Amino acid sequence: MAPRDEPWTAAARRVLPAMRAWRSAFHLEPELSLEEERTREKVVAALEELGIPPRTFPGFTGVIATIGTDRSGPVVALRADMDALPVTEETGLAFRSKFPGKMHACGHDVHMACLLGAAAILSRDGGPRGGPVRLLFQPAEEQGERGGALPLIERGALERPKVDYVVGQHVDPSLPLGQVGWRSGPFMAAADRFHITVRGRGGHASSPHQGPDAILVASEVVVGMQALVSRVRDPLDPVVVSVGSVHGGTRHNILPDEVVLEGTVRTMRPATRAQMESALRRRVRSIAASLGARVRLQYVHGYPTLVNEPAATRAVAEALAVELGRANVVEVDHPLMGAEDFSRYLERVPGTFLRLGVGVPGKPASLHSATFAPDERALVIGAATLATAVEGLQRSPP
């Protein structure tokens, strides 16, 4: 790869006005998973303005593009997710969502703007100085089960030319603005979902002995599942079991005949994932049977564990340390129990997933919050990070 004439951060700063406009346009009209039609149109228009031919698909909102198709060398793919969340915005931004109940509350507007910014600086002077760069604008990351990565892969995201490395990033309010976080190996959890229907016998609340009481059984199930975390798996192997939804009953003096529980299981290792599913099924059925109730359990696999390939991660981290300063490139000290379908790409090709710091002192922020509004200065660091990752992987392939 030929030497650059200016740092990537300086190049990204020059395209900040364009990134600001792209981000505002995405944020103004957020769309939920697999509904990103306006978003796709905006991505396509931006790519065409940059002179990068986009590839779209009938009935699917993803977009693929390639910079430097005539170049030889390692092919690096960069990915940004496109979908918003069913959240009513309370940021007060001038470009706040105009769609009630929909908001870019997870920073995907920033991710897309950063990827377009990286595309702008990587495509200058006719293309990248190394091999081709694949751009992946992916819908439905928030969908949680099939997601959007797998359908995009099925449509050739990693082929023609064959992708050698893949890089993604996500805004992170727990890291200060200006920092980028990295971690080798397992980084984000596999996320599965369970749906449990407890069937008892409805009746008057004054006569619970005529049960079984579905609410009591459901309560025992909720408590009993926590023993799976404290007593079934190795305490050094992270696991989360959470019940996020409980529905049953209509009135204080009526015992319902049915209670529905929904929740999630998060794990970091495939063996633990299988162990927890098996143990949860046994525990739920045993508790229900011991109290005379019936139970129906659905267990659905979501995204797999996100595993950053060590050599590719080190190459990117070293390149970032040179570009941003070593103090601004930090190793994240523990895995995260959130999930990401970027894991689908990493199952197929080596690469890494980074955390883009957006934390600002005195302005507490949380992903999926109605008030989440990353500082626009993160756009420069995000675009420079993606461009630097490409250079690091193409200049000195692991």
Would you name the residues annotated as active-site residues?
A: 303, 376
What sign does the dihedral 311-312-315-320 (CA atoms) show?
negative
Residues in the chain: 398
Burial degree of 367 (CB within 10 A; 0-12, 13-18, 19+): middle
Please list, residue by residue across 153-187, b when 16 or more beta carbons sit within 10 angstroms of its beta carbon and e when fewer do.
beeebbeebebbbbbbbbbbbebebbbbbbbbebb
**How many angstroms separate the CA atoms of 156 and 140, rounded?**
17
Could you give the 3-state DSSP secondary structure of residue 374?
coil
- Say if residues 84 and 104 touch (Cβ distance below 8 Å): yes
Residue given tokens 């969340």 in the structure block? 85
**Closest by CA position to 183, among listed 359, 31, 334, 378:** 334
How far from the centroid of its chain's Cα atoms is residue 380's Cα?
A: 21
**How many angstroms separate the CA atoms of 62 and 34, rounded?**
9
Per-residue DSSP letter, 2: P
**How many angstroms separate the CA atoms of 157 and 153, rounded?**
5
**How many angstroms separate the CA atoms of 30 and 103, rounded?**
6
Find the radius of gyration of the CA atoms of the chain. 23
